[in-house]
Structure 1
Amino acid sequence: MKYIPLTAIIIMLSISGIFASSKEDSTAYEKQRERVNKLLDQRRERFGEFDASLTARSGIFGLKTKKDMQSSIDILKQIVLTDNNIFKETKALLDYKDFEKQTVEGQVEVSGERITGYINTISKLQRSQDQLAEEIMVLEKRSNIYLSLLLFAFLALMTSLYILTKRRKN
């Protein structure tokens, strides 16, 4: 039973060490961390007082008196109240982290949707570009055919004119 509070302190210190490594904490998160750390310091002090009260023996023949035991009980009550406050503040601290995580996830989702929209737009534009390139090729083929026909017609006309002029001269 005596080791449970010590384990809780070690876990809280580990958690605060993990949170201390994050450089992008918000100011509210930092304030909340400071509150938790202050509460942990208070608990450490009260636990030291409790240890001292356990060794205090002011009775006859070095025995514990009722006052000594009541003092130890009062200190334990304070430790329990401090532990409750630590848990409440740690819960608030975790809520900050959860909120931050949800915010980041929301931003990731929005960014993902935006990227998907960009990809869809790019795909549509590429399909449109491919369609237009095919239309250009068809139009160029038609243009080449018309140019060939025009050239053939021009050559036929020139040949006809040449033949006609030669006949008239003859």
Structure 2
Amino acid sequence: MQFIKSLSFLLFFLTGFAVSAQNADSTSFEAQRMRVNKLIEDRKVKFGEYDLSLEKKSAIFGLFKSKDDMQRTIDILKNIVITDNNIFLETRRLISIKDDEKQKFQNLASEYDKQVSAYMGTINKLQKENEKLKKDIENLEGSDNSSNILLYIALAIIAVLSYLIYRNQKITKG
């Protein structure tokens, strides 16, 4: 019974440890996901600026684009490309975190599987030992009964012999 209590405590402890580890990993994953989402929002804003920059014409009577307008559009486009590169890098980190989490959980699952298998083996071993002890007890109880029968027979023989000796002495005296 003590073994089962210890086993349940161990499983409870391991489950609690796994949940706390999962919370730490989830926090890091969530922080990385928020970084990627912020970069995507920044890209949307920059792309809106790019659209406005394409429409802006400040050259002769607002009919043509000036050199400055074109340079501003190119700079905005460069910023969009830099943001895209950052999005790719941060997304790669996000995927790496997710892959690490997946690998860690697979390792935990295989470790728990090994532990459960070991516990099951121990339980089976203890059950077999328990059955063996029950059989030994039954054998001992059976041998006690046979020795008790022999004791009763011996007592009966002693009683008969005692009676015969007593009777024999009474006949010889009388």
Residues 69-115 of structure 1, C-alpha deviations (whole Å, 9 max, x = no match): 33222211211110110110111122122222222222222221111
Letter matched to residue 106 of structure 1: N
Q: Which runs of 4+ in 1 moved over 6 A?
A: none
Q: What's the offset of the Cα at 1:25? A: 5.1
1:130-141 equivalence runs, <5 A:
130-141=131-142
Q: Percent identity among equivalent residues?
A: 42
- Paired with 2:37 and 2:52, the residues of 1 have a C-alpha distance of 23
8 Å CA contact retained: 2:25, 2:101: no
1:102-141 equivalence runs, <5 A:
102-141=103-142
SS in 1 for 2:106: helix
Structure 2 counterpart of 1:56: 56
- Paired with 2:141 and 2:31, the residues of 1 have a C-alpha distance of 72
Letter matched to residue 135 of structure 1: D
- Paired with 1:24 and 1:107, the residues of 2 have a C-alpha distance of 15
Letter matched to residue 164 of structure 2: I
- Paired with 1:155 and 1:87, the residues of 2 have a C-alpha distance of 101
| RMSD, aligned α-carbons | 2.1
C-alpha distance 142-23 of structure 1, shift in aligned 2 (>3 A) = closer
- Paired with 1:118 and 1:53, the residues of 2 have a C-alpha distance of 69
- Paired with 2:73 and 2:37, the residues of 1 have a C-alpha distance of 24
**2:145 matches 1:144:** yes
Q: What's the offset of the Cα at 1:27? A: 4.1
Letter matched to residue 105 of structure 1: Q
Structure 2 counterpart of 1:168: 169
- Paired with 1:121 and 1:165, the residues of 2 have a C-alpha distance of 65
- Paired with 2:128 and 2:107, the residues of 1 have a C-alpha distance of 31
Q: What's the offset of the Cα at 1:120? A: 0.3
TM-score (norm 1): 0.77
Structure 2 counterpart of 1:94: 95
Q: Unaligned 5+ residue runs, structure 1?
A: 1-21
Structure 1 counterpart of 2:77: 76
Q: Unaligned 5+ residue runs, structure 2?
A: 1-21
More moved, 22-31 vs 60-69 = 22-31
Q: How many residues align?
A: 149
Structure 2 counterpart of 1:38: 38
Q: What's the offset of the Cα at 1:151? A: 0.6
SS in 1 for 2:77: helix
SS in 2 for 1:87: helix
Letter matched to residue 46 of structure 2: R
- Paired with 1:97 and 1:51, the residues of 2 have a C-alpha distance of 35
SS in 2 for 1:33: helix
